Amino acid sequence: MEHQDAIHVVLIACGSFNPITNMHLRMFELARDHLEDTGKYRVVRGIISPVGDGYKKKGLIEACHRVEMARLASDTSDWIEVDTWESSQPEWVETAKVVRHHYEELVAAEQNEDKVDTVMYGKKRRMEEESCGCLSNRKANPARLFFLCGADMLESFGVPNLWKQEDIVELAGHHGMVCITRGGSDAEKFIHQSDTLWRHRHNIHLVHEWVTNDISATHVRRALRRGRSIRYLLPDAVVSYIQEQRLYSAESEQKNADVVLAPLARLCGTWEMVSNVNFEGYMVALGISSGLRKTAIKLKQKKVIEERGEECIIKTISALKNYTLSFTVGHQFDEVTKGLDNQCLKSLVTWEGEKLVCEQIGQKKNRGWAHWIEDGKLHLELFCEGQVCKQVFRKKGSDKDGVCKSDP
Protein backbone atom coordinates (compact mmCIF):
# COMPACT_ATOMS: atom_id res chain seq x y z
CA MET A 1 0.00 0.00 0.00
CA GLU A 2 1.25 3.46 -0.86
CA HIS A 3 2.35 5.64 2.03
CA GLN A 4 -0.24 8.30 1.18
CA ASP A 5 -3.05 5.75 1.68
CA ALA A 6 -1.91 4.66 5.14
CA ILE A 7 -4.52 4.78 7.90
CA HIS A 8 -3.57 7.13 10.70
CA VAL A 9 -3.43 5.44 14.10
CA VAL A 10 -3.45 6.77 17.64
CA LEU A 11 -2.16 4.41 20.34
CA ILE A 12 -3.49 4.65 23.90
CA ALA A 13 -2.09 2.84 26.94
CA CYS A 14 -4.01 2.84 30.22
CA GLY A 15 -2.60 1.72 33.55
CA SER A 16 -1.20 2.67 36.93
CA PHE A 17 2.25 3.80 35.70
CA ASN A 18 3.38 3.45 39.30
CA PRO A 19 6.00 4.51 38.30
CA ILE A 20 6.38 4.70 34.54
CA THR A 21 9.35 2.67 33.30
CA ASN A 22 11.46 2.50 30.16
CA MET A 23 9.46 -0.57 29.16
CA HIS A 24 6.24 1.44 29.09
CA LEU A 25 7.82 3.78 26.56
CA ARG A 26 9.34 0.88 24.59
CA MET A 27 5.83 -0.55 24.14
CA PHE A 28 4.87 2.48 22.08
CA GLU A 29 7.97 2.25 19.91
CA LEU A 30 7.52 -1.48 19.34
CA ALA A 31 3.86 -1.01 18.44
CA ARG A 32 4.62 1.79 15.99
CA ASP A 33 7.33 -0.22 14.24
CA HIS A 34 5.04 -3.24 13.92
CA LEU A 35 2.05 -1.33 12.57
CA GLU A 36 4.04 0.77 10.12
CA ASP A 37 5.91 -2.31 8.87
CA THR A 38 2.56 -3.64 7.57
CA GLY A 39 2.37 -0.67 5.18
CA LYS A 40 -1.29 -0.16 6.18
CA TYR A 41 -0.86 2.24 9.07
CA ARG A 42 0.90 5.45 10.04
CA VAL A 43 1.14 5.93 13.83
CA VAL A 44 0.72 9.64 14.50
CA ARG A 45 0.26 9.88 18.26
CA GLY A 46 0.70 7.97 21.50
CA ILE A 47 -1.38 8.62 24.63
CA ILE A 48 -0.37 7.65 28.17
CA SER A 49 -3.45 7.67 30.41
CA PRO A 50 -2.63 7.10 34.11
CA VAL A 51 -5.47 5.75 36.23
CA GLY A 52 -7.04 8.00 38.86
CA ASP A 53 -6.80 7.74 42.64
CA GLY A 54 -10.22 6.08 42.73
CA TYR A 55 -8.66 2.82 41.50
CA LYS A 56 -7.52 2.04 45.08
CA LYS A 57 -4.81 -0.42 44.06
CA LYS A 58 -2.38 -1.50 46.76
CA GLY A 59 0.71 0.73 46.76
CA LEU A 60 -0.77 3.19 44.27
CA ILE A 61 0.62 6.66 45.01
CA GLU A 62 -1.23 9.87 44.19
CA ALA A 63 -2.16 10.53 40.58
CA CYS A 64 -0.46 13.93 40.60
CA HIS A 65 2.93 12.23 41.06
CA ARG A 66 2.26 9.49 38.51
CA VAL A 67 1.10 12.02 35.93
CA GLU A 68 4.15 14.22 36.47
CA MET A 69 6.53 11.24 36.16
CA ALA A 70 4.80 10.22 32.92
CA ARG A 71 5.19 13.76 31.60
CA LEU A 72 8.88 13.81 32.44
CA ALA A 73 9.34 10.42 30.77
CA SER A 74 7.56 11.45 27.57
CA ASP A 75 9.27 14.84 27.24
CA THR A 76 11.95 13.30 25.03
CA SER A 77 9.36 11.93 22.57
CA ASP A 78 7.92 13.96 19.70
CA TRP A 79 4.78 11.81 19.43
CA ILE A 80 3.97 10.34 22.88
CA GLU A 81 2.13 12.53 25.38
CA VAL A 82 0.27 12.26 28.69
CA ASP A 83 -3.47 12.83 29.01
CA THR A 84 -4.97 13.70 32.41
CA TRP A 85 -8.67 13.12 31.73
CA GLU A 86 -8.76 9.67 33.36
CA SER A 87 -6.54 10.61 36.29
CA SER A 88 -8.69 13.66 37.10
CA GLN A 89 -11.94 11.71 37.45
CA PRO A 90 -13.20 11.43 41.07
CA GLU A 91 -14.17 7.77 40.62
CA TRP A 92 -12.43 4.89 38.90
CA VAL A 93 -13.28 4.79 35.19
CA GLU A 94 -13.39 1.48 33.34
CA THR A 95 -10.79 1.11 30.61
CA ALA A 96 -13.34 0.75 27.83
CA LYS A 97 -14.91 4.07 28.85
CA VAL A 98 -11.52 5.77 28.81
CA VAL A 99 -10.79 4.49 25.30
CA ARG A 100 -14.30 5.46 24.21
CA HIS A 101 -13.75 9.00 25.52
CA HIS A 102 -10.57 9.44 23.49
CA TYR A 103 -12.13 7.90 20.40
CA GLU A 104 -15.02 10.36 20.61
CA GLU A 105 -12.54 13.22 20.91
CA LEU A 106 -10.68 11.94 17.87
CA VAL A 107 -13.87 11.69 15.80
CA ALA A 108 -15.04 15.13 16.95
CA ALA A 109 -11.72 16.69 15.91
CA GLU A 110 -12.01 15.20 12.43
CA GLN A 111 -15.67 16.18 12.05
CA ASN A 112 -14.83 19.74 13.05
CA GLU A 113 -12.13 19.72 10.36
CA ASP A 114 -9.54 20.64 12.93
CA LYS A 115 -5.98 20.34 11.73
CA VAL A 116 -5.33 16.97 13.30
CA ASP A 117 -1.69 17.26 12.38
CA THR A 118 -1.20 20.31 14.62
CA VAL A 119 -2.37 18.25 17.57
CA MET A 120 -0.97 14.84 16.74
CA TYR A 121 2.17 15.36 14.69
CA GLY A 122 5.65 16.57 15.31
CA LYS A 123 6.64 19.51 13.09
CA LYS A 124 9.03 17.50 10.95
CA ARG A 125 6.55 14.69 10.26
CA ARG A 126 3.75 17.17 9.51
CA MET A 127 5.88 18.93 6.88
CA GLU A 128 6.79 15.60 5.29
CA GLU A 129 3.17 14.50 5.02
CA GLU A 130 1.96 17.84 3.68
CA SER A 131 4.60 17.62 0.93
CA CYS A 132 3.45 14.15 -0.16
CA GLY A 133 -0.26 14.93 0.05
CA CYS A 134 -1.01 12.42 2.81
CA LEU A 135 -3.18 14.80 4.81
CA SER A 136 -5.65 15.15 1.95
CA ASN A 137 -6.63 11.49 2.34
CA ARG A 138 -7.73 11.71 5.97
CA LYS A 139 -11.44 11.82 5.19
CA ALA A 140 -11.16 8.73 3.01
CA ASN A 141 -9.20 6.91 5.71
CA PRO A 142 -10.39 8.13 9.14
CA ALA A 143 -7.95 7.73 12.00
CA ARG A 144 -8.09 4.62 14.19
CA LEU A 145 -7.58 4.36 17.94
CA PHE A 146 -5.78 1.20 19.08
CA PHE A 147 -5.60 0.06 22.68
CA LEU A 148 -1.97 -0.71 23.58
CA CYS A 149 -1.27 -3.25 26.32
CA GLY A 150 0.98 -6.05 27.49
CA ALA A 151 0.22 -9.76 27.35
CA ASP A 152 -0.62 -9.78 31.06
CA MET A 153 -3.52 -7.39 30.49
CA LEU A 154 -4.74 -9.37 27.51
CA GLU A 155 -4.76 -12.54 29.60
CA SER A 156 -6.66 -10.73 32.37
CA PHE A 157 -9.66 -10.83 30.01
CA GLY A 158 -10.01 -14.45 31.09
CA VAL A 159 -10.33 -13.68 34.83
CA PRO A 160 -13.97 -14.32 35.84
CA ASN A 161 -15.99 -11.15 36.54
CA LEU A 162 -13.00 -8.83 36.02
CA TRP A 163 -14.02 -7.53 32.59
CA LYS A 164 -17.44 -7.02 31.03
CA GLN A 165 -17.77 -9.06 27.85
CA GLU A 166 -19.13 -6.03 26.03
CA ASP A 167 -16.02 -4.06 27.03
CA ILE A 168 -13.75 -6.75 25.62
CA VAL A 169 -15.73 -6.67 22.37
CA GLU A 170 -15.48 -2.87 22.27
CA LEU A 171 -11.72 -2.86 22.81
CA ALA A 172 -10.82 -5.78 20.55
CA GLY A 173 -13.63 -5.58 18.03
CA HIS A 174 -14.56 -1.94 17.60
CA HIS A 175 -11.24 -0.22 18.23
CA GLY A 176 -8.49 -2.80 17.90
CA MET A 177 -5.58 -3.78 20.09
CA VAL A 178 -1.81 -3.95 19.96
CA CYS A 179 -0.43 -6.43 22.49
CA ILE A 180 3.28 -6.56 23.38
CA THR A 181 4.25 -10.08 24.40
CA ARG A 182 6.88 -10.93 26.99
CA GLY A 183 8.86 -14.05 27.70
CA GLY A 184 6.73 -16.75 29.31
CA SER A 185 3.44 -15.53 27.84
CA ASP A 186 1.54 -17.27 25.07
CA ALA A 187 -0.86 -14.68 23.73
CA GLU A 188 -1.65 -16.71 20.60
CA LYS A 189 -2.80 -19.65 22.70
CA PHE A 190 -4.89 -17.41 24.93
CA ILE A 191 -6.64 -15.85 21.94
CA HIS A 192 -7.26 -19.31 20.51
CA GLN A 193 -8.88 -20.41 23.79
CA SER A 194 -11.15 -17.37 24.03
CA ASP A 195 -14.19 -17.41 21.75
CA THR A 196 -14.59 -13.64 22.09
CA LEU A 197 -10.99 -12.82 21.20
CA TRP A 198 -10.92 -15.45 18.47
CA ARG A 199 -13.83 -13.72 16.70
CA HIS A 200 -11.82 -10.49 16.66
CA ARG A 201 -8.35 -12.01 16.19
CA HIS A 202 -7.73 -10.08 12.97
CA ASN A 203 -8.11 -6.84 14.92
CA ILE A 204 -5.54 -7.85 17.56
CA HIS A 205 -1.93 -7.16 16.62
CA LEU A 206 0.59 -9.26 18.55
CA VAL A 207 4.09 -7.82 18.76
CA HIS A 208 6.95 -10.02 19.91
CA GLU A 209 9.67 -8.31 21.95
CA TRP A 210 12.71 -10.33 21.00
CA VAL A 211 15.04 -8.26 23.19
CA THR A 212 13.98 -9.55 26.60
CA ASN A 213 13.02 -6.74 28.96
CA ASP A 214 11.40 -7.72 32.26
CA ILE A 215 11.37 -4.28 33.85
CA SER A 216 8.20 -3.85 35.89
CA ALA A 217 6.94 -1.13 38.19
CA THR A 218 6.61 -3.73 40.95
CA HIS A 219 10.32 -4.57 40.73
CA VAL A 220 11.20 -0.87 40.72
CA ARG A 221 9.17 -0.18 43.87
CA ARG A 222 10.77 -3.14 45.59
CA ALA A 223 14.25 -1.86 44.73
CA LEU A 224 13.36 1.58 46.09
CA ARG A 225 12.07 0.13 49.37
CA ARG A 226 15.37 -1.69 49.77
CA GLY A 227 17.52 1.32 48.94
CA ARG A 228 18.78 -0.15 45.65
CA SER A 229 19.63 1.77 42.51
CA ILE A 230 16.93 2.09 39.83
CA ARG A 231 19.05 4.01 37.35
CA TYR A 232 18.66 2.88 33.72
CA LEU A 233 15.35 1.21 34.59
CA LEU A 234 13.51 4.52 34.37
CA PRO A 235 14.25 7.76 32.50
CA ASP A 236 16.77 9.87 34.44
CA ALA A 237 14.24 12.67 34.93
CA VAL A 238 11.84 10.22 36.60
CA VAL A 239 14.57 8.86 38.86
CA SER A 240 15.40 12.40 39.95
CA TYR A 241 11.75 13.21 40.61
CA ILE A 242 11.30 10.11 42.78
CA GLN A 243 14.36 11.04 44.80
CA GLU A 244 13.32 14.69 45.19
CA GLN A 245 9.78 13.81 46.25
CA ARG A 246 10.90 10.83 48.34
CA LEU A 247 8.34 8.58 46.71
CA TYR A 248 7.89 4.86 47.35
CA SER A 249 8.58 3.38 50.74
CA ALA A 250 7.40 0.52 52.93
CA GLU A 251 4.61 2.80 54.11
CA SER A 252 3.45 3.82 50.63
CA GLU A 253 3.37 0.18 49.52
CA GLN A 254 0.74 -0.49 52.19
CA LYS A 255 -1.58 2.20 50.86
CA ASN A 256 -4.98 0.67 49.98
CA ALA A 257 -3.76 -2.66 51.40
CA ASP A 258 -7.19 -3.31 52.89
CA VAL A 259 -8.98 -2.73 49.57
CA VAL A 260 -9.82 -5.79 47.47
CA LEU A 261 -9.91 -5.02 43.75
CA ALA A 262 -12.68 -7.36 42.79
CA PRO A 263 -16.26 -6.88 41.54
CA LEU A 264 -17.57 -7.25 45.11
CA ALA A 265 -15.29 -4.48 46.34
CA ARG A 266 -17.16 -2.01 44.15
CA LEU A 267 -20.38 -2.82 46.04
CA CYS A 268 -18.86 -2.41 49.48
CA GLY A 269 -19.74 0.61 51.60
CA THR A 270 -22.70 2.33 53.19
CA TRP A 271 -25.46 3.28 50.76
CA GLU A 272 -28.48 5.55 51.32
CA MET A 273 -31.73 5.07 49.42
CA VAL A 274 -32.74 7.68 46.84
CA SER A 275 -35.59 5.86 45.07
CA ASN A 276 -37.85 2.87 45.72
CA VAL A 277 -40.15 1.85 42.86
CA ASN A 278 -42.91 -0.82 43.22
CA PHE A 279 -41.89 -1.87 46.71
CA GLU A 280 -45.55 -2.42 47.60
CA GLY A 281 -46.10 -4.69 44.59
CA TYR A 282 -43.10 -6.77 45.62
CA MET A 283 -44.42 -7.05 49.20
CA VAL A 284 -47.86 -8.08 47.93
CA ALA A 285 -46.20 -10.91 45.99
CA LEU A 286 -44.46 -11.99 49.21
CA GLY A 287 -47.81 -12.10 51.03
CA ILE A 288 -47.01 -9.36 53.55
CA SER A 289 -50.02 -7.84 55.33
CA SER A 290 -51.40 -4.46 54.27
CA GLY A 291 -50.64 -2.89 57.65
CA LEU A 292 -46.97 -3.82 57.50
CA ARG A 293 -46.78 -2.73 53.84
CA LYS A 294 -48.08 0.76 54.69
CA THR A 295 -45.40 1.14 57.34
CA ALA A 296 -42.55 -0.37 55.32
CA ILE A 297 -43.16 1.70 52.20
CA LYS A 298 -42.54 4.94 54.15
CA LEU A 299 -39.16 3.82 55.45
CA LYS A 300 -35.86 5.13 54.15
CA GLN A 301 -33.49 2.17 54.00
CA LYS A 302 -29.71 1.95 54.13
CA LYS A 303 -27.50 -0.82 52.78
CA VAL A 304 -24.18 -1.71 54.34
CA ILE A 305 -22.15 -4.15 52.22
CA GLU A 306 -18.96 -5.68 53.59
CA GLU A 307 -16.44 -8.25 52.42
CA ARG A 308 -14.65 -10.46 54.95
CA GLY A 309 -12.39 -12.88 53.19
CA GLU A 310 -14.66 -15.06 51.04
CA GLU A 311 -17.75 -14.03 52.98
CA CYS A 312 -20.05 -11.21 51.89
CA ILE A 313 -22.34 -9.49 54.38
CA ILE A 314 -25.29 -7.33 53.30
CA LYS A 315 -27.13 -5.40 56.02
CA THR A 316 -30.46 -3.74 55.30
CA ILE A 317 -31.11 -1.09 57.94
CA SER A 318 -34.35 0.79 58.61
CA ALA A 319 -36.27 2.26 61.56
CA LEU A 320 -38.60 -0.76 61.50
CA LYS A 321 -36.29 -3.74 61.04
CA ASN A 322 -32.66 -4.60 60.36
CA TYR A 323 -31.89 -7.65 58.22
CA THR A 324 -28.42 -9.19 57.84
CA LEU A 325 -27.52 -11.67 55.12
CA SER A 326 -24.17 -13.53 55.09
CA PHE A 327 -23.08 -15.77 52.23
CA THR A 328 -20.22 -16.97 50.06
CA VAL A 329 -20.59 -16.45 46.33
CA GLY A 330 -21.18 -19.74 44.54
CA HIS A 331 -22.21 -21.70 47.66
CA GLN A 332 -25.86 -22.51 48.36
CA PHE A 333 -27.03 -21.68 51.88
CA ASP A 334 -30.14 -21.80 54.07
CA GLU A 335 -31.83 -18.42 54.44
CA VAL A 336 -34.63 -17.54 56.86
CA THR A 337 -36.37 -14.26 56.00
CA LYS A 338 -37.19 -13.52 59.62
CA GLY A 339 -39.20 -10.35 60.11
CA LEU A 340 -40.04 -10.15 56.39
CA ASP A 341 -42.25 -13.04 55.27
CA ASN A 342 -40.62 -15.62 57.59
CA GLN A 343 -39.81 -18.18 54.90
CA CYS A 344 -37.12 -20.88 54.85
CA LEU A 345 -35.27 -20.65 51.54
CA LYS A 346 -32.44 -22.34 49.69
CA SER A 347 -30.44 -19.43 48.31
CA LEU A 348 -27.54 -19.20 45.89
CA VAL A 349 -25.61 -16.03 45.00
CA THR A 350 -23.55 -15.89 41.80
CA TRP A 351 -22.01 -13.31 39.48
CA GLU A 352 -23.70 -12.61 36.16
CA GLY A 353 -21.30 -10.20 34.52
CA GLU A 354 -21.00 -7.39 37.08
CA LYS A 355 -24.35 -8.15 38.69
CA LEU A 356 -24.45 -10.00 42.02
CA VAL A 357 -27.54 -12.19 41.58
CA CYS A 358 -29.36 -14.31 44.15
CA GLU A 359 -31.84 -17.10 43.41
CA GLN A 360 -34.13 -17.85 46.39
CA ILE A 361 -35.90 -21.22 46.16
CA GLY A 362 -38.98 -21.64 48.35
CA GLN A 363 -42.77 -21.44 48.21
CA LYS A 364 -42.76 -18.38 45.98
CA LYS A 365 -41.78 -18.73 42.32
CA ASN A 366 -39.08 -16.73 40.53
CA ARG A 367 -37.86 -15.10 43.72
CA GLY A 368 -34.50 -13.39 44.16
CA TRP A 369 -32.55 -10.15 43.81
CA ALA A 370 -29.68 -8.50 41.95
CA HIS A 371 -27.17 -5.83 43.02
CA TRP A 372 -24.92 -3.86 40.67
CA ILE A 373 -23.16 -0.51 40.28
CA GLU A 374 -24.21 1.88 37.52
CA ASP A 375 -23.22 5.55 37.16
CA GLY A 376 -21.69 5.50 40.63
CA LYS A 377 -24.91 4.32 42.32
CA LEU A 378 -25.95 1.00 43.84
CA HIS A 379 -28.91 -0.56 42.04
CA LEU A 380 -31.05 -3.31 43.56
CA GLU A 381 -33.83 -5.29 41.92
CA LEU A 382 -36.07 -7.44 44.13
CA PHE A 383 -38.29 -9.83 42.21
CA CYS A 384 -40.97 -12.37 43.12
CA GLU A 385 -43.71 -13.99 41.02
CA GLY A 386 -43.58 -11.37 38.29
CA GLN A 387 -43.34 -8.31 40.56
CA VAL A 388 -40.11 -6.30 40.38
CA CYS A 389 -39.07 -3.62 42.88
CA LYS A 390 -36.30 -1.29 41.74
CA GLN A 391 -34.26 0.54 44.35
CA VAL A 392 -31.35 2.96 43.90
CA PHE A 393 -28.85 4.00 46.57
CA ARG A 394 -26.12 6.64 46.66
CA LYS A 395 -22.93 6.17 48.64
CA LYS A 396 -22.98 7.85 52.02
CA GLY A 397 -21.16 11.16 51.91
CA SER A 398 -21.52 11.63 48.15
CA ASP A 399 -23.22 14.65 46.63
CA LYS A 400 -26.97 14.46 47.02
CA ASP A 401 -28.78 14.26 43.72
CA GLY A 402 -32.29 13.58 44.90
CA VAL A 403 -34.53 12.79 47.84
CA CYS A 404 -35.86 9.44 48.82
CA LYS A 405 -39.11 8.82 46.99
CA SER A 406 -41.51 5.94 46.74
CA ASP A 407 -43.49 5.09 43.63
CA PRO A 408 -45.83 2.21 44.37
pLDDT tens column, 287-315? 999 988 888 888 889 999 998 767 899 99
Read off the pLDDT of each residue in 189-217 and give the average, rounded to a whole number: 88
pLDDT range class, residue 279, cuts 50, 70, 90: very high
pLDDT of residue 21: 95
Greatest mean pLDDT among 129-138, 231-240, 249-258 lies in: 231-240
Q: Of the given ranges (221-225, 306-310, 372-376), which has the lowest mean pLDDT? A: 306-310
pLDDT of residue 149: 95
pLDDT digits (tens, 9 = 90+) for 108-150: 988 875 544 444 445 445 445 444 444 445 555 789 999 999 9
- pLDDT of residue 101 exceeding 90, the answer is yes
Q: Of the given ranges (42-51, 113-122, 149-158, 166-175), which has the lowest mean pLDDT? A: 113-122
pLDDT of residue 118: 47
Per-residue HEC secondary structure of the chain comes to CCHHHCEEEEEEEEECCCCCCHHHHHHHHHHHHHHHHCCCEEEEEEEEEECCHHHCCCCCCCHHHHHHHHHHHHCCCCCEEECCCCCCCCCCCCHHHHHHHHHHHHHHHHHCCCCHHHHHCCHHHHHHHHHHCHHHHCCCCCCEEEEEEEHHHHHHCCCCCCCCHHHHHHHHHHHCEEEEECCCCCHHHHHHHCHHHHHCHHHEEEEECCCCCCCCHHHHHHHHHCCCCCECCECHHHHHHHHHHCCCCHHHHCCCCCCCCCHHHHHCEEEEEEEEECHHHHHHHHCCCHHHHHHHCCCCCEEEEEEECCEEEEEEECCCCCEEEEEECCCCEEEECCCCCCCEEEEEEEEECCEEEEEEECCCCCEEEEEEEECCEEEEEEEECCEEEEEEEEECCCCCCCCCEEEC
pLDDT range class, residue 405, cuts 50, 70, 90: very low
- pLDDT of residue 73 exceeding 50, the answer is yes
Read off the pLDDT of each residue in 152-161 and give the average, rounded to a whole number: 78
pLDDT of residue 70: 98
What is the value of pTM for the model shown? 0.63
